[in-house]
Chain A
Amino acid sequence: MNSADILLTGDSLDIAALNASLPANPMVGASATFTGYVRAGGDLTALELRHHPVMTQAALEQIAQTATERFDLSALVMAHRYGRMAIGEPIVHIAAAAPHRRAALEAVSFVIDVLKTQAPFWKREWRGEAPHWIEPTSEDHAKAAQWLEETK
């Protein structure tokens, strides 16, 4: 039975625990993971992620359902932080398990590319005491559009 677990949290992500939460399944031939971290740059001191109290969870569930069906996944774990994060902290983690490697690898790419522009999160960089909103890049939009176009 296919399953997707979604974690939307203000607490630090425990990557090892998230990977371990993929259910054991003898039909799984491959798993793939992606972790996004707060990257140091210039005078960056922190990254802040805001979310919508209802719509963010719903969007993550929709993306997980689409990925699970499209890539015929055995299991999918999606974890996303909100709140303020220091440099080096994980922001997002995705783990996909499937019978074959291509499906697991592509599912992880799909989820992160689509999530960046389709899930209601808003990102602010903190440089000293000054926050600065970050908007998705044209490359972010192009990557998501590529997947979504293929879905039609």
Chain B
Amino acid sequence: MKVTLEYFGQIGDRMSDSPDMVTLGEKPSTLAALINQLEDKLEGGEALRDPHLRIAINDQLCGKQDALALTDGDRIAFLSPFSGG
């Protein structure tokens, strides 16, 4: 299953050398399982463990405890803490 990775804010600088798409092995059923896979596949992937990051699937924010139902082609966004205004 291929997914697209997106980065917004400071995390984009940390992951600037990472590919935009990755192929996941076993389908992750939790965010923790997803991050475990990405950490193994991506250089500097340990940055994705930052507890302050928010994660969105196809532009919808995910709760840390939400069950994941990823499908091929989904977009997974990692969002650094917001700082508007």
Q: A126 on the interface (CB 8 Å rule)?
A: no
Q: B85 on the interface (CB 8 Å rule)?
A: yes
* Interface of A: prevailing SS: mixed
Q: A135 on the interface (CB 8 Å rule)?
A: yes
B4 to chain A, nearest CB (A): 14
Question: What are 12 A-B residue pairs whose CB atoms fall within 8 Å in the complex?
Answer: A49-B84, A50-B8, A50-B9, A115-B84, A117-B83, A119-B82, A121-B83, A121-B84, A122-B80, A135-B10, A135-B83, A136-B82
A residues touching B (Cβ–Cβ < 8 Å)? 36, 49-50, 52, 54-55, 58, 80, 91-92, 112, 115-123, 133-136, 140
Tell me the bound Cα distance from A50 to B9 in angstroms. 8
Query: Interface digits, B47-85 against A, CB 8 Å rule (1 contact, 0 not)?
Result: 000000000100101000000000000000101111111
Are the CB atoms of B79 and A91 closer together than 8 Å?
no
Q: Which residues of A contact B77 (CB under 8 A)?
A: 52
Q: Which residues of A contact B84 (CB under 8 A)?
A: 49, 80, 92, 115-117, 119-121, 123
A65 to chain B, nearest CB (A): 17
B residues touching A (Cβ–Cβ < 8 Å)? 8-10, 13, 56, 59, 61, 77, 79-85
Are the CB atoms of A116 and B83 closer together than 8 Å?
yes
Q: Which residues of B contact A122 (CB under 8 A)?
A: 8-10, 80, 82-83
Our pick among A54, A117, A133 for the contact of B80 (Cβ within 8 Å) is: A133
Tell me the bound Cα distance from A36 to B81 in angstroms. 20
Please provide the 6 A-B residue pairs with the shortest distance between their CB atoms, ordered closest to farther.
A121-B84, A122-B9, A116-B85, A133-B10, A123-B83, A54-B59
Tell me the bound Cα distance from A122 to B10 in angstroms. 8
Tell me the bound Cα distance from A117 to B83 in angstroms. 6
Are the CB atoms of B85 and A120 closer together than 8 Å?
no
Q: A36-B85, A119-B82 are in contact. Are A133 and B56 (CB under 8 A)?
A: no
Q: Which residues of B contact A52 (CB under 8 A)?
A: 8, 59, 77, 79
Are the CB atoms of B85 and A92 closer together than 8 Å?
yes
Q: Which residues of B contact A55 (CB under 8 A)?
A: 56, 59, 61
